[in-house]
Structure 1
Amino acid sequence: MKESSWSVCKHCLGRGKVSRKLSKRQRQQFKEACLKYENEPAKGGAPERPKASVQTCEKCHGAGIIPHQKPPEGQENHFPRIAIVGMGMAGVALAVACLHRGIPFAIFERDKDAAERAQGYGLTLQQAGRAIKSFGIVKLNQGVISTRHLVHTPAGEVIGEWGARKWVEGQLSVDPKRSNIHIARQSLRKQLLAQLGDHPAIYWGHQLVSYQQEGAKGLKLTCLVAGEERQFEADLLVGADGIRSAVRTLLLGDQTHELRYLGCIVILGICPLAKLPETPLLDGTTVFQTANGVERIYVMPYDAETIMWQLSFPMLEEAAKSLSSQGPKALKAEALSRINWHYPIPEILQATEEKFISGYPVYDREALQGALSEKAQPVTLIGDAAHPMSPFKGQGANQALLDALALAQAIYTKYQYTPWQGADLRGELLDVVEQEMILRTDVKVKESAEAARVLHSADVFLGGDQPRRASALKACVHPNGKCADP
């Protein structure tokens, strides 16, 4: 399968799954239930037809798309024109998903090119790792699968271990679908951008400053380009422009669902393995974390030759903002002053060049619920613009990718055969997609916030060969099912 061009799989209509026929036994049981109801209607309600089970589409192997000679052209007669603001993970993923499904789109980014700003550090693909093929990515070029995860005390005592290698000697099976894939955010973004190629609707150096709804004509967007204003037209606007989203501010204002500080700061660093001593902890497929109940450091593969570390600890918000603004030199000094733990943690911090260090206070937001629907506009948000969360569950990028895929699939399914012109995009499309997004992501936001508390408290020492938050929740549950210290 080539990675160049794709189109929707007609066998499953882009869903990646197909319904199985009801079995002979299911049909017979339903028939008998109907006959019984006809003879004795007073006893119980009418029987419901059994639902057919689904299976992975054998034509596209669950991707919903198949290789094609060239991408389908944007079909404005079938689908609304999508304007995407932001070329981070969520925005580029949505553009790619639209491209493969023939949905016309334009994507706008204030940066002049892909290299102008750093796009974060490493990320861990979990649920989205299984969905990545739906974006036309057959293989992650620089992805690393971790096979061991360790939790230490500052002295180096192992208090938790899980992963494939723990079970090898016991001859227990390991499900490859549950593997975590570690990859540099910029590497994944680069692969997604490669799917777009030289698409004419990619607009670098375009900063959205306003938009207006013009009735049946759709939306008029105004972008600032090299100091001058330019106008663009669209039918649906998607804000994928991050935690401080301009689209969100234009739509909801600054005061709606303000950022919520989670009480801690994160310092990040990237270090080549070649600069570090050889040790099993730095074998390229091991993830480890160490904590003392206040500070916590997490080390994972960044690519085959590099690791990423993440140090976090409680700090007042103003102090965290101040430290972050002082730059990498101050951040590295702060990290070294706090961490004098087991080998090779001090060596990793010392060997990390300042230019590869950054830091930021950690925020999230409450769920949007009906805030977008109340505006009654064909404007929506995905990724961090909709639901920023702490990094401690590794869910931010995963949920952003799933947001993009869900929105593109919903547009394709809704309007493939039904004319969209004159349709209520807000009521019949966006309200449905947003409600599903909130149900999926709200629990992730809450779990990530809880992880921020657990990882910087005594609960981090609770044993068990599983992630720390799971251990903490098990330990605090009473026989009646209620948590002793919620």
Structure 2
Amino acid sequence: MVGSSAGTLRVASRIAIVGGGIGGLAAAAFLHRAGLPSVVYEQTPQLREVGAGLVLAPNAVRLLRRLGAMDRLRDRAVPLDVGWEFRRWADGRVLSAENLAGSCERLYGERTYTVHRADLAHAIGAAVPPDAVQLGKRCTSVTVRGDTAELAFADGTSAEADVVIGADGVHSTVRGAMIEPATATYSGICAFRALVPADRAPGFARRRAQTLWIGPGHHLVHYPISGETAVNLVAFAPAGDYTVESWSATATVEEFLAEFAGWDPRLQELIKGAGTPGRWALLDRAPLGRWSHGPVTLLGDAAHPMFPFFAQGAAQSIEDAAALARCLAQDTHAPARALQRYESLRIGRTTRLQEVSHARAHVNHLPDGPEQEARDASLAGADPLVASGWIYAYDAEAEETARV
């Protein structure tokens, strides 16, 4: 287990980031912007982002803009005109919708966008020096030695660092070295994801809208990505005995269709246009009580894996990266203290998002009946853009500065 330390961050600071996904690259980019060099150790032989689309809300966009990433996404990110367009499963009747085109920017200073994960990773990675990323480096262990930590890799090499940032995802090796492993519980929900080329998608799905179809035990979300050349689908259904938690696992279009049999025929048409769907089980993990131990900390899904029902997983990794870079830059002589400060700034917010995301599954999946009718009436009178102000108005860098 990793013990605590109050060491000194050296002038030629050695900061190791384990994991080259969105969170790890964002950490390297924000650290570079703060004048702190780092090295990203990524296990794959080339940088790539599996998966498909994601939503970039204002809390992430304002941070990405400071990295120059939004300029690089200009032709790929899709600004949403409509969000939270809830539709009834059987006939597509719109239960509620939010106009984002003007109100989002007026309230929060930024639009909401949709983007392919690969495009986002490329845009963030462009803000990282090329020699700061080492590929084919699968971390197998982390050992603290006084004020430093040693990383061991599967290829037999090792590296010493003054700070280690575990951005290695839900199955984090770094987390496993820091705390006793907690058993993930079975959520009973699995997710499908797929891309539909725009020329094979019905017109309603090509709009600049984030649409959620909700029904008994299921819901499905779609929106355009990749410069409006494709439509992203992500859907949630009962898992049965399916327990594979992997972004690389796949299903068939027929299995995807079967889960939504009897739903609006237009939705069936959309699913039929998809390529090979991915499928993974959502496993439930309780929020961690601590992330940082001596010179080692966690970031993103390694620290706070959350259900995707608030579309904030990537955004919270980006917020983590921005806050962590500020903390280290402002306390270079005491990295352990800086990491503890980072944890104290972030853990309450991410825990709250984990909890509200978890609760949303029940609301979206209500069977038809009185409770569903009450939910639908509530949706019709809601203003989710204003209600989510605690998420979207937040500035991770300003928050860190305010509490120095």
The normalised TM-score by structure 2 is: 0.83
Distance 2:180 2:158 in 1: 22
Which of the residues 205, 225, 230 maps onto 2:136?
A: 205
SS in 2 for 1:113: coil
Distance 1:205 1:79 in 2: 24
The answer as to whether partners of 2:242 and 2:281 remain within 8 angstroms in 1 is: no
Q: Structure 2 matches for 1:72-471, cutoff 5 A?
A: 77-78=10-11, 80-115=13-48, 118-126=49-57, 127-139=59-71, 140-141=73-74, 142-149=76-83, 150-153=85-88, 154-164=90-100, 174-175=106-107, 177=109, 179-199=111-131, 201-216=132-147, 218-225=148-155, 229-255=156-182, 258-277=183-202, 279=203, 281-303=204-226, 304-316=228-240, 318-321=241-244, 327-329=250-252, 332-339=253-260, 340-354=262-276, 357-370=277-290, 372=291, 376-415=293-332, 420=333, 423=334, 425-426=335-336, 428-458=337-367, 459=372, 461-462=376-377, 463-464=379-380, 466=382
The normalised TM-score by structure 1 is: 0.69
Distance 1:173 1:101 in 2: 27
| C-alpha distance 358-90 of structure 1, shift in aligned 2 (>3 A) | same
Q: Which runs of 5+ in 1 are unaligned?
A: 1-75, 472-486
Q: Return the offset for 1:333.
A: 1.9
Residues 144-186 of structure 1: per-residue CA shift (max 9 Å, x gap)? 1111232221212221121146x99xxx995473531111111
2:327 aligned partner, one-letter code: A
2:325 aligned partner, one-letter code: A
| C-alpha distance 80-298 of structure 1, shift in aligned 2 (>3 A) | same
Q: Which moved more, 1:402-411 or 1:148-157?
A: 148-157
| C-alpha distance 315-212 of structure 1, shift in aligned 2 (>3 A) | closer
The answer as to whether partners of 2:218 and 2:237 remain within 8 angstroms in 1 is: yes
The answer as to whether partners of 2:39 and 2:134 remain within 8 angstroms in 1 is: yes
Q: Return the offset for 1:465.
A: 5.1
Q: Which moved more, 1:298-307 or 1:385-394?
A: 298-307
The answer as to whether partners of 1:384 and 1:400 remain within 8 angstroms in 2 is: yes
Distance 1:209 1:250 in 2: 10
| C-alpha distance 453-381 of structure 1, shift in aligned 2 (>3 A) | same
The answer as to whether partners of 1:83 and 1:236 remain within 8 angstroms in 2 is: yes
Distance 1:360 1:457 in 2: 22
Equivalent position of 1:32 in the other structure: none
Distance 2:385 2:214 in 1: 13
The answer as to whether partners of 1:161 and 1:466 remain within 8 angstroms in 2 is: no
| C-alpha distance 389-323 of structure 1, shift in aligned 2 (>3 A) | closer
User: Greater relative contact order: 1 or 2 (C-alpha under 8 angstroms, separation 6 or more)?
Assistant: 2
| C-alpha distance 322-397 of structure 1, shift in aligned 2 (>3 A) | closer
Residues 111-161 of structure 1: per-residue CA shift (max 9 Å, x gap)? 00114xx42211111111121123232422311111123222121222112
| C-alpha distance 324-389 of structure 1, shift in aligned 2 (>3 A) | closer
| C-alpha distance 469-343 of structure 1, shift in aligned 2 (>3 A) | farther
Distance 2:363 2:157 in 1: 48
The answer as to whether partners of 1:122 and 1:184 remain within 8 angstroms in 2 is: yes
Residues 438-474 of structure 1: per-residue CA shift (max 9 Å, x gap)? 1111110001001122111144534325478999xxx
Q: Structure 2 matches for 1:1-16, cutoff 5 A?
A: none
| C-alpha distance 146-90 of structure 1, shift in aligned 2 (>3 A) | same
SS in 2 for 1:457: coil
Residues 61-81 of structure 1: per-residue CA shift (max 9 Å, x gap)? xxxxxxxxxxxxxxx754632
| C-alpha distance 435-323 of structure 1, shift in aligned 2 (>3 A) | closer
Q: Return the offset for 1:289.
A: 1.8
Distance 1:81 1:325 in 2: 33
When the two structures are aligned, how many residues end up with a matched partner? 365
| C-alpha distance 206-161 of structure 1, shift in aligned 2 (>3 A) | same
Q: Which runs of 5+ in 2 are unaligned?
A: 1-8, 388-404
Residues 424-451 of structure 1: per-residue CA shift (max 9 Å, x gap)? x32x211111121111111100010011
1:334 aligned partner, one-letter code: E
Q: Return the offset for 1:369.
A: 1.9
Residues 295-343 of structure 1: per-residue CA shift (max 9 Å, x gap)? 2111111221111111112334x334399997322xx222211324325
Q: Return the offset for 1:104.
A: 2.2
| C-alpha distance 461-265 of structure 1, shift in aligned 2 (>3 A) | farther
The RMSD of aligned alpha carbons is: 2.8
Distance 1:215 1:119 in 2: 37
Distance 1:212 1:221 in 2: 7
